[in-house]
Amino acid sequence: MSSPSHAGDTPITHRDQLVAVLASGEKSIEDWRIGTEHEKFGFRFDDLRPPPFEGERGIEALLEGLTRFDWQAVQEHGNTIALLKDGASVTLEPAGQLELSGAPLVDIHETCREVGSHLREVKAVADELRLGFLGMGFQPKWRRADMPWMPKGRYRIMRDYMPKVGRLGLDMMTRTCTVQVNLDYADEADMVKKFRVSLALQPVATALFADSPFTEGRPNGYLSYRSHIWTDTDPGRTGMLDFVFEDGFGYERYVDYLLDVPMYFSYRDGEYIDAAGKSFRDFLAGRLDVLPGALPNLRDWNDHMTTAFPEVRLKKYLEMRGADGGPWSRLCALPAFWVGLLYDDAALDAAWDLVKDFSREERHALRDGVPRHALGLPFRGGSVRDLSRAALEIAAAGLARRARHNAGGEDEREFLTPLLEVVDAGQTPAERKLALFHGPWQGDIDHVFREFAY
């Protein structure tokens, strides 16, 4: 989740300004970049509990320790709540899940170096604090009540509001981790095509990355429980966005959607003003009762865009949001998958051919069925495993045509290897862990922290 936007204080007086924000994301192909984000669960070596914010072994101590690597601390009311360096940031999710929001980079080789550097820095500091980090989609051991809360103003507002609109919103906040990639578009038509392809294929990413089969130490009946949680978080800001596939979709239609997403807050003078459930349309008309007569500014709009949580999110770029968190190798696989599909014209055309005749019912059946069944979900006489294989073939061809090589001469296709192995084996990461749980682990979930930590 984002920290306060650093957009300007320019007042918004007309809807066209909101549309212009999305249009300002347009970039020429040579300026397209790749931004990869991932979250991870911290745990203490001695008792496996998530560390609190404060204390000698707390999350704030970890953040302050990372400043030795030239990260600049960001504070809120005297608490260090984020770090910034060279276009990247390290931030905190509500229960202290640590997130790297990577810089916009040219290729996936750079992305993987960035991820590796970050994980080495975190391990250097965490080892001193006797902390470890685990990449999975859902906290496998601890109850919601066991999770700490970070001292960030926006999280207090969300914590109070979430139970009013869904049963699992607080679990989303405190017990989930994801990996996502942010990608550019050339113009409105390019954005629309990429949005449609990525939204239709987001269940494939969910299946390939499914890694959240445990709740409070026991199997939960899902392979991606993290994905299921989003179905009962807040219907006003989640979902498959059927209107994206309608004729005439573009920037203006997405702005209309965002204007109907309930607000959380306005950030003014260093404070979060609680506006949970209120209308941004009223704000635009100067009728927001918690800020009487005030008009929104571009910071408000940029912040508001981060509070919609669909499967694919449009800001000044497109965010792919369907994957569970995982180990180092899969953190690089997600951008490889989507860059291969979306950053090569022939691949994008082939991906669109793959999904263009999906009906609304089929798209929803994929979204609703994949969290439980992943690759095994039946689809059109085959399964999601078959659909995943077809998408990976298109992505691999797209990466080959991009021809971005490392010093050893390898192109970006090498990063698809973990996903190809998943499809070839027909076994998701979640199913691998379930087999260990029922076999060598003998029902003891504590093994996951030892065997799968970074």
Domain ranges for the chain, please list them: 15-451
Give the number of residues written for the chain: 454
Q: What pLDDT score was predicted for residue 9?
A: 81
Ramachandran angles phi, psi of 89, nearest 5°: -145, 155
Report whether 48 contacts 39 (CB < 8 A). no
Report whether 342 contacts 334 (CB < 8 A). no
- The candidate with the shortest Cα–Cα distance to 321, out of 181, 175, 174, is 181
Report whether 286 contacts 295 (CB < 8 A). yes
Q: What pLDDT score was predicted for residue 56?
A: 97
Contacts of 421 (CB under 8 A, 6+ apart): none
Architecture of domain 15-451: 2-Layer Sandwich (3.30)
Tokens of 309: 């949580």
Q: Return the half-sphere exposure (C-beta side, CA atoms, 13 A cut-off) of residue 401.
A: 15
Report whether 56 contacts 346 (CB < 8 A). no
Report whether 253 contacts 178 (CB < 8 A). no
At residue 28, the 3 state secondary structure works out as: coil
Rounded distance, CA 170 to CA 148, Å? Answer: 12
Q: What pLDDT score was predicted for residue 8?
A: 65
At residue 341, the 3 state secondary structure works out as: helix
Give the number of other CB atoms < 10 A from CB of residue 183.
21
- CA distances for 383 relative to 140, 364, 366, 388, angstroms: 27, 15, 10, 9
Rounded distance, CA 227 to CA 243, Å? Answer: 21
Rounded distance, CA 289 to CA 276, Å? Answer: 12
293, amino acid identity: G
Report whether 152 contacts 76 (CB < 8 A). yes
- The candidate with the shortest Cα–Cα distance to 314, out of 230, 256, 236, is 256
Alpha-carbon dihedral 105, 114, 101, 411, rounded to 10 degrees: 50
Rounded distance, CA 393 to CA 107, Å? Answer: 19
Contacts of 50 (CB under 8 A, 6+ apart): 41, 42, 43, 44, 95, 96, 139, 142, 146, 147, 148
Rounded to two decimals, what is the model's pTM? 0.97
Q: Which residue ranges in the chain fall short of pLDDT 70?
A: 1-8
| Cα three-residue angle 251-17-187, rounded to 5 degrees | 35
Q: What pLDDT score was predicted for residue 2?
A: 52
